[in-house]
Structure 1
Amino acid sequence: MFKGLSAFPLTPLTEKGIDEKSFVRLIERLVSAGVDSIGALGSTGSYAYLKHSERDRVARLAVEHANGIPVMVSIGSVRTSDVLHLAEDAQRAGVSAVLLAPVSYQKLTSDEVFTLYDTVTRHLSVPLCVYDNPGTTHFDFTDELYGRIAQLPHVASIKIPGLSADPVATQKRLAEIRPLVPEHVTLGAAGDLAAATVLTQGGDVWYSVIAGLFPEIPLAITRAAQKGDTQTAQALSAQLEPLWELFRQHGSLRIIAGAAEILGLVSAPCLPLPLRSVAGDERQRLARVLEELGLRA
């Protein structure tokens, strides 16, 4: 499941909790499109803001409605004991893999992060994707730490941040990491803006925000890249530049949440406060971009 397109949907919320009907609707869109895997409860899924019971419920809903498509869920939390409980719940729910970022309040050391992954992987029976997300964790993985963690049992993929839309730079960066990890460990794009480049320059998987709501174009990009059709993959990505510009300005979560609200796929507001989707003039701008790109419910 660690190749191709992995779509990360929102976890829509209301004042009463999880908007289960809307969440299932989002999962069904991904099933209909035929994504390669589903990443429920990622950063786009607001996992860090949810109660333990809510995360368990979302994992079960995702697996139940995925129609056989592999589901991965995040088990990140501040305390290792909580991570282990979340891992146990996820495996009982029937997930195909788990995603783990080194979530913290106090900034972690490299030894602490390694110990986290070492401890968790000893309690897993499913594969694990390493989630390197310094924008939220404020922890910077070194290549040496990638290599150490990749040797642990069940580690199957690394979600890599900061990869460039520059083909030469991306190819160089992937070439630096490849020799440090076992052959079975895949390397994935964490950012949508550079994903076409990553997939055409040796990356294995796109962990995608946009695909969680609008899977068709990301699927076309992925399939073109898998066929070696770099020109088509890059051209399709370039068509989405108006959306990428909004991602750069406001962050992908606020834009995707706003898009889902505008199209009536979720109720508004759908994010956990204090997070909010874009409003005012920028919301109107987003609506125009969706219309121009033909991105509809």
Structure 2
Amino acid sequence: MFRGLSAFPLTPTDEHGIDDKAFAALVARLAAAGVDSIGALGSTGGYAYLTREQRAHAVKIAVEAADGVPVLVGVGALRTSHVLALVEDAQQAGASGVLLAPMTYQALTEDEVFGLYEEVTRELSVPLCVYDNPRTTHVDFTDELHGRIAQLPNIGSIKIPPLSEGPAQARARVDALRALVPETVTIGVSGDWTAARGLNAGCDAWYSVLGGMFPRTALALTRAAQAGDAGRATELSDELEPLWALFRRHGGLRVMSAAASHLGLAGEPNLPRPLRGLDETARQDVVDALTALGLTA
């Protein structure tokens, strides 16, 4: 499950709740495209803004709509007891795995982060992906901390932040982390604009925002890298630079929100307050990029 393309869809949400029909259609679209797994309630899925009840409901929709494709469910929350409740909901709904970021308000020590994963993995019957996302959580994992956590039971993967270095440095970064974790723990890259670099450097998976809306485009890049065609994977990524620039400027969530609206895959608004969609100028930039890339059909 923690290999290849893991596609993370938007969870269309307004102040009345989740748009069940739109969410189910987005997930079904990914399953039909042949993604390797579906990441429900990741950062692109707005998990942090939803209640426990909404999240449990979304998991049930995702598992049903995925039609057998493994569903990885975000279970991050501020308190360990809340995480454990979300884990229980995800497992009961049939999730194939969980994704856990150490959400926090107070700065966490390394022992506190380790303790979170230690307590959660005791209660798991499905594998867990460690979500290393310092941009949103403000928790910085050291490789040594990853190594400690990776020894816990049911750890299946590590989702690392974007790799900003060149190919040689990226390979060294992945190799250094891989040397500290068991062979059973995969390494997946996030930060879509560095996906090709990460996959070419030996990452096992791409945890993809783009894949949640444009799965066939993301699959083409992923499969090229998996086949050992690093040049083709890099070429495909370079072609997507108009979108990557918008991701870096506005964040993938807001760009995918605008794309979903433009393509008729979600209504407006589709983000929970206080989040707001892009302004008209930025929205037009998204439409122009999609049009130039042939992604409007």
* Equivalent residues in 2 for 1:201-280, closer than 5 Å: 201-280=201-280
Aligned to 2:34: 34
Contact 1:129 1:157 in 2 (8 A): yes
Secondary structure at the aligned position of 2:159 is classed as strand
Give deviations 1:57-106, integer Å, cap 9, x for gaps: 00011001101100000110001000001000100000000000000111
Output the CA distance in 2 between the equivalents of 1:59 and 1:3: 21
SS at match of 2:35: coil
When the two structures are superposed, what TM-score results if normalisation uses the length of structure 2?
0.98
Please, what is the CA RMSD of the aligned residues? Answer: 0.9
Q: Which runs of 5+ in 1 are unaligned?
A: none
- Structure 1 residue matching 2:163: 3-state secondary structure: coil
Query: Aligned AA for 2:244?
Result: W
Tell me the equivalent position of 1:179.
179
Q: Secondary structure at the match of 1:203?
A: coil
Identity of aligned residues (%): 60
Residues 147 and 180, structure 1, Cα contact 8 Å, conserved in 2: yes
Indicate the residue corresponding to 1:146 in structure 2.
146
> 3-state DSSP class of the match of 1:25?
helix
Q: Which residue number corresponds to residue 68 of structure 2?
A: 68
| Displacement of 1:165 | 5.7
User: Partner letter of residue 237 of structure 1?
Assistant: S
Q: Name 1:24's counterpart in structure 2.
A: 24
1:199 Cα deviation after fit: 0.8
1:56-205 alignment to 2 at 5 Å?
56-164=56-164, 166-205=166-205
Q: List, as ranges, runs of 4+ consecutive aligned residues in structure 1 with deviation greater than 2 Å.
A: none
> Contact conserved, 1:40 with 1:73, CA < 8 A, in 2?
yes
Contact 1:4 1:205 in 2 (8 A): yes
- What is the Cα deviation at residue 193 of structure 1? 0.5
Number of aligned residue pairs? 297
Provide the secondary structure at the position in 2 that maps to 1:76. Answer: coil
Q: In the alignment, is the contact (CA less than 8 A) between 2:15 and 2:272 conserved in 1?
A: no
**Aligned-pair CA distance for 1:31:** 1.1
CA distance in structure 2 between the partners assigned to 1:164 and 1:68 by the alignment: 35
Alpha-carbon distance in 2 for matches of 1:170, 1:84: 34
Inter-partner Cα distance in structure 2 for 1:111 and 1:178: 21
Query: Residues 224-246 of structure 1, C-alpha deviation per residue, up to 9 Å, x if partnerless?
Result: 11110111111111110000011
Distance 2:281 2:62 in 1: 34
Unmatched runs of 5 consecutive residues or more in structure 2: none
The alpha-carbon deviation at position 277 of structure 1 amounts to 2.1
C-alpha distance after superposition, 1:22-71 (max 9, x if no partner): 00110111011100000000000000000100000000110011011000
CA distance in structure 2 between the aligned counterparts of 1:188 and 1:4, rounded to whole angstroms: 9
Residues 14 and 267 of structure 1 are in contact (CA less than 8 Å); yes or no, is this contact kept in structure 2?
no
Q: Secondary structure at the match of 2:187?
A: strand
Superposed displacement of residue 296, structure 1: 2.3
Letter paired with 2:191: G
Residues 41 and 47 of structure 1 are in contact (CA less than 8 Å); yes or no, is this contact kept in structure 2? yes
Query: Shift in Å at residue 132 of structure 1?
Result: 0.5
Q: What amino acid does structure 1 have at the position aligned with 2:84?
A: L
Question: What's the CA shift for 1:190?
Answer: 1.3
Between the aligned partners of 1:267 and 1:65, the Cα distance in structure 2 is 19
